[in-house]
Structure 1
Amino acid sequence: MEANQLQATFEEKQPQKTEKRKKWTLPHSYTLIFLIIIAVALLTWIIPSGQFDRKDVTVDGTTRSVIVPGTFHTIPKTGENGDLRQGLSGILSAPMEGVINAADVVAFVLVVGGAFGIILKTGAIDRGLVALAGRLKNKGILVIPIAMIIFSLGGSTFGMSEETIPLYAIFISLMYVLQFDSITAILILFLGTQIGYVGSTLNPFSVLIAQGVSGIEGNPQLWLRFIEWIVFTGVSIAFTMWYANRVRKHPEKSVVYKNDLENRDRFIKADDGQDITFSFRDKLILSGFVVALGLIVWGILAKGWYMTEIGAIFVALGLFAGIVAKMNQKEMAENFVQGCADFVYAAVIIGLARGILVIADNGMIIDTILNTLAGWMQGLPKFAFTTIMLLAHNLITFFVPSSSGEAALTMPVMAPLAELVGINREAAVTAYQFGNGLTNLISPTGGVLLAGLAIARISFGQWLKLIMKLFPILWVIAAIFGAISAYVGM
């Protein structure tokens, strides 16, 4: 009897074999970025260092440093420029340098997060969203096309991007009360603005800077760009509505189903099953929020406001909300700190992502990659040139996610190269805007995407699982429009 009990105890302690293998998942976002930093550091030992000469060019009153075609020269890995090979010291320093380089964006996220800490604590947004959901009832799906058209138009015309970061918490809450999921909010805000970049029409940080650097006067293919914007935006809205409708009918099919079970209470505390009293104070706070957004839009369009001015508006809004809600100074300060804490993850990840570019810059390999790609594309026929150029920009954007930065870096080479194969320079601009915009949908080096995912507590792997269902469709559309642009005369 004792022997049988001993045998049973022994068997219980043995690890149980499972038929299902553990699914492989992407590492934590911080880990993923650090692994990419290491990979890029290794490339600085393999890829020759080099540099183009540069000159200053003024476009729309802004002076930018652009490369001079035909001036590329290699630089020794060691010499008067120091040791360009990025080793352990460079890898460990990259996160800190990245945070320093992205200090303006990091500070913006933290300050806005603090202001939202006060606003959300009042409960006005929670009660307002529940009241809105009650009015919309089964028409909540209409929020998606309306909002995405607005955000896509903002991305296409004046380069809306970082400005949407303060809205993530609001839209995540709204999606919850409309019975969608948190990643639907990412699709509305990030995909909405980014698809506007893909279909840029008058974006000064994308099309206009690229045309200026390329020596193109006016906007000769604006009519085609408008058609592109309609198609890209329409496809993205259709995809988002399809996904959101599926989640509402079958919540368990959500890519972030388990996440939302854990995180829902962080964003919406009001119980939509109870009677919600939407008070005069709530209406006053939300009215202030609407006025602040209107002021921000006016400031961006008329005064050229950016993060400093927008951050100031949100600080004022936070103080206004706290006063209306009758918070004392201690409560406002504590809620501000808590709001900052909720956004720290998002703020830090932006700086870490910038560290990847720091490593590539310090190793001086970006110009080498650009020069090599340009050499490969010489002599290609028209129908293949724009597609290869699109792929080239997909790669370059990984190292230079900034649309204006990539325009200044690549267009002085790509535009003349297009003319060498008998293609108008506008086609080179089109390939650039498609490549930059599409890659930023799936790149872990883009700060705005990572910030939005961090606020929603969604992993980069979960985002890829969803967006990769749409990305190939958008890429094929981009390749087709790129070819059309090449054959359309200026």
Structure 2
Amino acid sequence: MSDTKAKKTNRRFKFKLPHVYTIMFLLIVVFAVLTWIVPSGQYQRKMISTAAGEREVAVAGTYEQVDKNYTDSETGETINLGQDIFAVLQAPTKGIQEAADVVAFVLLIGGSFAIITKTNALNAGMSRVIKKLKNKDILIIPITMTLLSICGTTFGMSEEALPFYAIFIPIMMGIGYDSMTAFIICFLGPNLGYCASTIDPFNVLIAQGIIGIEGNPQLWLRAVSWVIFTAVGIAWAMRYAMRVKKNPESSITYEDDKLKRIEFSVTDASIEEEFTTRQKLVLIDFACGMGIIVWGLVTQGWYMNEISAVFLGMGLLAGILGGLDQQTIAEEFVKGLADFAYAAIVIGIARGILVIAEGGMIIDTILQALATALAGAPAAVYTTFMYIVLGLLSLLVPSSSGLAALTMPVMGPLTELMGLNPEAAVTALQFANQTINTISPVAGMTVAGLGVAKISFGQWWKTIWKFFIFMVVFGLVITAISGMLPA
């Protein structure tokens, strides 16, 4: 009898999270269906200058519904705004086309870093660092995450963090941690800074510019929140890492990491590798390249094309300095493209969701409905509702600058009408957007990072959910404080 029960138990259905491509395609279908149900509508738009350049923004108070058989005022063509099966099948292609700059950027990073990795300079260099740390290798986590968080809070590091996965995954596994620890360092580090932005032009400054706030008056609050937020995040990451090192089998990626050790050519970091002059030159090349990128981002307004050029140059020069012949450089570049192809394409497919929503003209309708509901909320709970609204909209528009352009013309004046400091709208935007992106299957960089690290969404959600709750609560508290401060 007990054997029969055991067999029945083993036959029980065990839920398995669908592949991320499946999730995205289903979301494309869901939003296509919504374009037939949700009324279509639009705000008028205008161009304004912001810290991140010229941006087209919605004009508050100009929303109007449009007929599903919409006549384009410029071309005179009548368009059915309901997205059919053909539109659904075209959405991934159009998404990849619209995100072509990011897709190309990710692929070039993959190719360039494969060349750098082939020289073994990064592993040899890190083995020296680990030897000097001796039994204090845990310090790699706070040092690296602090630096990445600074990059996130100042210039909005996001895509630029992708190369670090290829560096830290083999290193962290080589010193007794797991691939999840490496992912936490590379993903959560800049994400903490992006969430608690201080002077990020693609997050705080663009939102303030749209609302008309000058001089970043709550910089002190943002700085304090960044210190606390980053410190708690690092403490959580270190606690996770120490638990895994103490008991490797407790790692959620324990079985997967057996294969990753082969894929990422993981070696025991306690074995000191030869550190040649050529490898030292490669590391100098890498350090100079990253320095140039930071300089270009902060002072020259660089974006994908310029950064891609530096990464490509850095990779080619590393191959030459590392003593690789042209055949090896080309082969490693192609291997790198293949390794990062999953991450690159997933960014484009995620964009397909937005293609469908924009094609059906339902984004402005959703914003108008949420803003109308928000206007009726008591002032005491308004900031909480605003945070939730911006979080929900982040599922449609993961980009912080895109979300700012869409929502701040509406949220800023509405917050002020509620008798609160309009800075609360900016604070809610920065925390809600990046907190949701931390777990969102449509946030390109989240999916790309998980793809490079070969970690499933299910594994990530099981790992992050407790800290995610902290992120939400912390964001709500800081948003409320921001709203209560005098303007």
SS at match of 2:47: strand
Aligned position for 2:9: 19
Letter of the 2:308 partner, please give it.
Answer: G
Matched position secondary structure for 2:324 = coil
1:471, 1:269 → 2: CA distance?
30
Q: Verify: 1:110 aligned to 2:101, yes or no.
A: no
Q: Pick the aligned partner of 1:41 from 9, 32, 48.
A: 32
Which residue matches 2:75? Answer: none
Contact 1:133 1:177 in 2 (8 A): no
TM-score when normalising by structure 2? 0.94
> Structure 1 residue 349: deviation in Å?
0.8
Q: Structure 1 483/228 Cα, relative in aligned 2: closer, same or farther at 3 Å?
A: same
Question: After the TM superposition, which of the residue ranges 240-249 and 253-262 deviates more from structure 2?
Answer: 253-262
Tell me the secondary structure at the aligned position of residue 80 of structure 2: coil
Of residues 394-403 and 213-222 in structure 1, the stretch that sits farther from structure 2 once superposed is 213-222
The match for 1:338 among 331, 335, 338 is 335
Which stretch shifts more, 320-329 or 407-416? 320-329
Partners of 1:476 and 1:273 lie apart in 2 by 41
Cα displacement (A) at 1:259: 1.4
- Which amino acid is 1:86 matched to? Q
Deviates more, 1:127-136 or 1:393-402: 127-136
Contact 1:380 1:421 in 2 (8 A): no
DSSP-derived class of the 2:466 partner: coil
Q: CA deviation at 1:379?
A: 3.3
* C-alpha distance in structure 1 between counterparts of 2:373 and 2:312, whole Å: 51
1:199 equivalent among 184, 196, 218: 196
Which structure 1 segments of 5+ residues have no match? 1-13
The Cα of 1:86 is off from its aligned counterpart by 1.2
What SS does the aligned partner of 1:455 have?
helix
Q: How many angstroms does 1:467 deviate by?
A: 1.4
Which residue of 21, 35, 42 corresponds with 1:30? 21
Question: Which residue identity is paired with 2:118?
Answer: K
Displacement after TM superposition at 1:419 (Å):
1.6
Shift of residue 384, structure 1, vs aligned partner: 0.3
Read off the aligned partner of 1:398 and give its amino acid letter.
L
On the 8 A contact 2:202/2:400 being kept in 1, the answer is yes
- Give 1:451 shift: 1.0
Letter in 2 for 1:29: V
Q: Give the Cα separation in 1 of the matches to 2:262 and 2:132.
A: 22
Deviations 1:317-353 (A, max 9, x none): 2222222232221221111111111111111111111
Percent of residue pairs bearing the same amino acid type:
51
Task: Compute the displacement of 1:106 (Å).
Answer: 0.6
2:122 aligns with 125
Look up the equivalent residue of 1:357 and give its one-letter code.
L
Rg larger in 1 or in 2?
1
Where do residues 71-470 of structure 1 align in structure 2 (5 Å cutoff)? 71-80=62-71, 81-272=78-269, 274=271, 276-470=273-467
The worse-fitting range, judged by mean Cα deviation, of 171-180 and 101-110 is 171-180
**Superposed displacement of residue 100, structure 1:** 0.4
Does the 8 Å CA contact 1:86/1:362 hold for their aligned counterparts? yes
| 1:45-96, Cα deviation, whole Å (9 max, x unpaired) | 1111110111111123722111111111111112425111112111110100
Q: CA deviation at 1:480?
A: 1.3
Instruction: Give, in angstroms, the shift of residue 395 of structure 1.
Output: 0.3
- Does the aligned pair in 1 maintain the 2:170–2:267 contact within 8 Å? no
Give the CA deviation at 1:272.
Answer: 4.1
State the distance in 2 between where 1:69 and 1:323 align: 55
Counterpart of 2:41?
50
What count of residue pairs does the alignment treat as equivalent?
476
User: How far is 1:274 from its partner?
Assistant: 4.7
Question: d(CA) in 2 for partners of 1:296 and 1:426?
Answer: 30
Alignment partner, residue 11 of structure 1: none
Unaligned runs of 5+ in 2: 72-77
1:130–1:177 CA contact under 8 A, matched in 2:
no
Alpha-carbon distance between aligned partners in 2 of 1:70 and 1:333, rounded to the nearest angstrom: 55
Verify the 8 A CA contact 2:52 2:206 in the aligned structure 1: no
Residues 1:69 and 2:60 aligned together: yes
Distance 1:157 1:120 in 2: 28
- Verify the 8 A CA contact 1:118 1:336 in the aligned structure 2: yes
Distance 2:70 2:297 in 1: 45
3-state secondary structure, aligned to 1:19: helix
